[in-house]
Chains A and B, each alone.
Chain A
Amino acid sequence: MDEKIRLLFVDDEEKFLEATAKRLRVRNIDVQAFTRGADALEATKNQKFDVALLDLKMPGMDGEELLHKIKEMHPRMEVVILTGHGSIDSAKRLTRDGAYEYLQKPCELDELISVLSQAYARRIVSAKESKARRVQELLDKATGYSPIALLEELRKIDKES
């Protein structure tokens, strides 16, 4: 875990977004901050993110919709919800829908970072598992491949993960 966490941070509360992003950045997290869900979703098309930190209540596209879209487009990206409008109902629903963790505002920075690190760790593990699985799959069906083609395929898997 030497690499920086690439974090997608979405919150309509601009001041909270700015201050929290600043604190995370000094703690060696690569934060991309957005106040609008649609802008954030657009950014995921061009950039890779390990973890998304989403507010729930937002004008326009809200956190729940954004969670669904991210999970649809990037199934392995971990999503952490951070909201001031929390309820047990929405926490249950969102974790069922794929959110890694559900945090309530105001939240201590240490707790936030710890959750983000755990989410990142799972992301890494699942990426490694996926890579191993693909290599295994490749080797299983590799009997007909030329050595050069096989090497090419392995490089591709490495690059993608």
Chain B
Amino acid sequence: MKEPVEASKAVPEDIFKAFKPHSKSLTGLRNRVLGRLLFVALIPLLILALYLRYQFITTLESRSEIFLQAIAKGRQGAVDQMIAGKMAALKSLAKLVDPAAPASDKEMKGFLALLQGMDESILDLGLFDALGNHIRYAGPFQFLEGKNYKDENWFMSLTQSESPFFISDVYLGYRNDPHFMIAYRMESGDAPWFLRITISPAKFNQLVNDVQVIEGVSALIVNREAVCQCAPENICRTMSKTPVSPQMNAGSGATRIHVDNDDYLLAWSRLKYVNWTLIVRQNLAVANAPIRAASRVVLIILIFAILFIIISSVLATRSLMNRYARVEKDRTQLIDQLFQAGKLSTMGEMAAGVAHEINNPLAVILSELGVMEDILDPTLSEEFDREEFSKRIESAKQEIRRCRNITHKLLGLSRHSESVIDKHDVNEVVTETVGLIKKELSFENIQLLVDADPAIPVIRTDGEKIKQVALNMIRNAKDAIGKDGKITVSTHNEADYVSIIITDTGSGISERNLQKIFMPFFTTKEVGKGTGLGLSISYGIITSLGGKINVTSKVGEGTSFEIILPKKNVMTD
């Protein structure tokens, strides 16, 4: 003998979704489609935009560094030329001065005027003998004439050095006013003479900064200790320490600094004749102005691109969703029609069954009335039996009540198309269902056992719908048994749910068919005997009530359907 196949199947959650309209999720679907569309279109665009922006900014930044460095180089060259010009002028002048007969004051004034005509930053002109005595002077600080400079740093350096020139840092000196000087040693026999010019850093600065006027760019000169030699007033005061990094003393280069809440780009270049460094400074905001302008253009283009993508995505989604909604509407209508047809057809089957049930009490009534007629007929009975007559009336009335019960039940089943949620005792629902079908089962010699769990709480659900489902399942059980068998209907109180289990001793369902029993129109019955809609409708009903249906079956032994109803709406009273 073949082993019975045991099959157990929990109905997949989504089996019925395919048959039910889901209009609520339409908005969700639209948002998902739109979201994905936008994601796919916008992410690459944004990545590209960010990459391009990064590339663009780095390029522009290094370009502005190079640009500023070029300015620094050019400015350094110009300053070197200015200094070289002064040195050359000093050297030429030295030839005009005869050390044996020092020039008169008038001549000195003439020389100074000559020099100042060339270069207005020159303050004064002085002539010193080998002992450091300031023997001649032309300029605004007349009191300097006659002073001895032999202990001054510049004088000592110049007497000892090989180079005939000396250029000092900016200092205050006897005049107590910032200036720097270029001094020249004239060799004349054993005793050298010295000629010097002093230069106003402020005026020199004007020259430095007038060389080439570029917006936002200013130049300053520092010595090797980073002390400001000449600079525009707003950058640093002459002779004050400037916060520049030490590597600036080497060659040329560029860097960024943060001073006074502002970012600056610096480029520097060492001067040739003096140990100074020329620095050009540009406010980064100004330096980066073209970057920002270009970024703004890119941003505007980006915004337009994003707007275009969003608008076209929204339009595309809308047309897609409209089409989807149309298809969905058709589908929903079809499914509605299907359900309606299914409902009508099960109603039709049931109505036929119930109509047959009515024929029996009608036959009884007709017979009882006939007997009463006979009693009244003098040819058939000799005397009027009042007692029997009233007994017959009572019997007929009883049968009429039986008919009424049947029609009421029929109406009860057909009435509710919409769910009517109310308090229901599941045991009561089961008892009523069993009452509807008990007689039908007795004809086939099928025993119907009810095992009700007394602990079942009252739940909020649709009693009539559950009755319809249970009735459908008991009918299926009956069809599976055919003749001579047993159907058990039991109720169970579980932690979260209440269940009704309908078990039969019928032929069972093969595993292959078990996958399909909830599909609409699936039936194993002969053509015309079943619509294949009963279980799919039952499934729809139970899911709409928040429950589910499980089924286990063993071929040759029987099938068990479990209707699970959620308890969450349990009434406390």
Contacts and interface: CB of A to CB of B under 8 A. Distances in A.
Interface of A: 13, 15-16, 19-20, 22-23, 26-27, 57-60, 62, 84-86, 104-109
Given A23-B371, A26-B380, A15 B364 contact: yes
A62 B484 CA distance: 13
B363 A106 contact: yes
A92 to B, nearest CB: 15
Contacts, number: 64
B371 A13 contact: no
Contact of B366 (A22, A85, A86, A106): A106
A106 B362 CA distance: 6
A23 B370 contact: yes
Given A60-B445, A85-B356, A85-B359, 11 more contacts: A13-B363, A13-B364, A16-B363, A20-B367, A23-B371, A26-B374, A57-B443, A59-B442, A59-B443, A84-B359, A105-B359
A19 B368 contact: yes
Nearest to B352: A87
Q: Which 4 A-B pairs have the closest CB atoms?
A: A84-B359, A19-B367, A105-B363, A106-B363
Contacts of A104: 359
A107 B360 CA distance: 10
Contacts of A59: 442-443, 445
Interface string B333-372: 0000000000000000000000011111011111110110
A120 to B, nearest CB: 20
B443 A106 contact: no
Contacts of B445: 59-60
B552 interface: no
B371 A105 contact: no
A20 B369 CA distance: 10
Interface in B426-457: 442-443, 445
B350 to A, nearest CB: 14
Contact of B360 (A23, A26, A84): A84
A15 B359 contact: no
Contact of B367 (A23, A84, A86): A23
A75 B360 CA distance: 29
A39 to B, nearest CB: 16
B360 A16 contact: yes
Contact of B381 (A20, A26, A85, A108): A26
Contacts of A86: 356, 359
A15 B362 contact: no
Q: Give the residue among B360, B367, B371, B442 with the most A Cβ atoms within 10 A.
A: B367
A16 B359 contact: no
Contact of A19 (B357, B360, B362, B371): B371
Contacts of B357: 84
Contacts of A16: 360, 363-364, 367
